[in-house]
Amino acid sequence: MQCLLERVEHGLDERLRETIAHVVHEQTRSFTLRLQEALESVVRQAVQDALAQERELGESGPHR
């Protein structure tokens, strides 16, 4: 009986490690993709805002 429990424990330990590693990898990948999309959106909006401000300054400034 003790031998059987040791085998189960060893096999279970290995399977749990593999499963946890897989889930962590998938979650990290998913998080990285969402983070990249969010950062791209923030940078895009910052550039659009800066361009809009430049256009406003150009229109209200002295004409050549």
Q: Which two tokens stand for residue 19?
A: 């499963």
Q: Which two tokens stand for residue 54?
A: 């430049």
What pLDDT is stored for residue 35 in this prediction?
98
State mean pLDDT over 23-44: 98
For residue 60, pLDDT over 70 is answered with: yes
Q: List Cα–Cα distances, 29 to 4, 25, 38, in angstroms.
A: 37, 6, 14
DSSP 3-state assignment of 64?
coil
Q: How confident is residue 34, by pLDDT bands cut at 50, 70 and 90?
A: very high
Report which DSSP code applies to 61: S
Report which DSSP code applies to 5: H
State mean pLDDT over 12-24: 95
